[in-house]
Amino acid sequence: MDKKSLAYFKKLLLKKRQEILEELGYMRDASGKNSEETFGEDTTYSTHMADHGTDEQEREKTFYHATRENKYLLYLEEALERIEDGTYGICDSCHEEIPKERLEAVPHTKLCVPCKLAEKQE
């Protein structure tokens, strides 16, 4: 892959990484608030009236989402490392160059489409 393309994909990966980091920061900030901070002590919707089941469900959803985002962040970091070591855009399975269209759609991919489909069939 030429230097111009590598620079483009590095910029794309860095942008996606920044978006994920901001999202994770937002989730961390939001999950740190308790219902008293959200509703206040003197409101009619006091802490003892809050639906704790719903709160727990929201925490579980946030945890699941954060886990997925952290996994995606790891994939982005690995792709950035492949750019640095010169292996970005080369399929791990067949060792052919991954088409730029595939990298546009999934910039952290390590497999070309035929190899990814073969992997799924296994």
The domains of the chain, with CATH numbers, are 3-33+53-121 (1.20.120.910)
Give the pLDDT band of residue 33 (cuts 50, 70, 90): low
Residue 29 and residue 43: Cα distance in Å, rounded? 22
pLDDT band at 37 (very low <50, low <70, confident <90, very high): very low
Would the pTM count as exceeding 0.75?
no
Amino acid identity, residue 9?
F
Mean pLDDT of the chain: 82
DSSP 87: -
Comparison of pLDDT for 42 and 93, the residue scoring more = 93
Report the distance separating Cα 43 and Cα 62, nearest Å. 26
User: Any idea which residue has 């111009």 for tokens?
Assistant: 4
Q: Of 65 and 82, which is predicted with more confidence? A: 82
Q: Which amino acid is at 32?
A: G
Dig out the tokens for 106 from the structure.
């999934």
- Residue 36 confidence (pLDDT): 43
- SS3 of 111, please? coil
Spell out the alpha helix ranges (H) of the chain.
3-31, 35-39, 52-85, 100-105, 113-121
